[in-house]
Amino acid sequence: MGEEITAEALDEMISADDRMVLNAPPGDVLISIKIRVSVKPSTSGLTIFGYTTPRVIEPVAIGGGVSEVELPFIRPSIWVERLPGVTTYSITTLERRDRR
């Protein structure tokens, strides 16, 4: 049987352009995080990666322009991969749903 991969090891395996932590209190157990994303030009896009379970990282595709998206992530740490043509982007946390 193989070795178990830790969350820290998974973090290091992600190859993305940027890593950031969304605005959420430390230690919160999240259900999802709603964000507003602005991507220029509108013909480009992003892929955002995050934890959907303690050991599973999944992608969410975001098109160009401005959109509000609910990310199904349980941790506020995300990785952002810029698709070809992206000149600038911004991400703002709007709200979060936590398990309380």
The answer to whether 5 touches 12, Cβ cutoff 8 Å, is: no
**Regarding beta strands 30-40 and 65-71, do their DSSP bridges make them parallel or antiparallel, or are they unpaired?**
antiparallel
CATH (residue range 7-98): 2.60.120
Each residue's pLDDT expressed in tens, for the chain with a length of 100 residues: 455 556 666 667 777 899 998 887 666 668 889 999 999 999 999 999 999 988 888 999 999 999 999 999 988 889 999 999 999 999 999 988 877 6
Domain ranges in the chain are 7-98
pTM: 0.84
Q: Are 85 and 42 in contact (CB under 8 A)?
A: no
CA 62/CA 100 separation, integer angstroms: 29
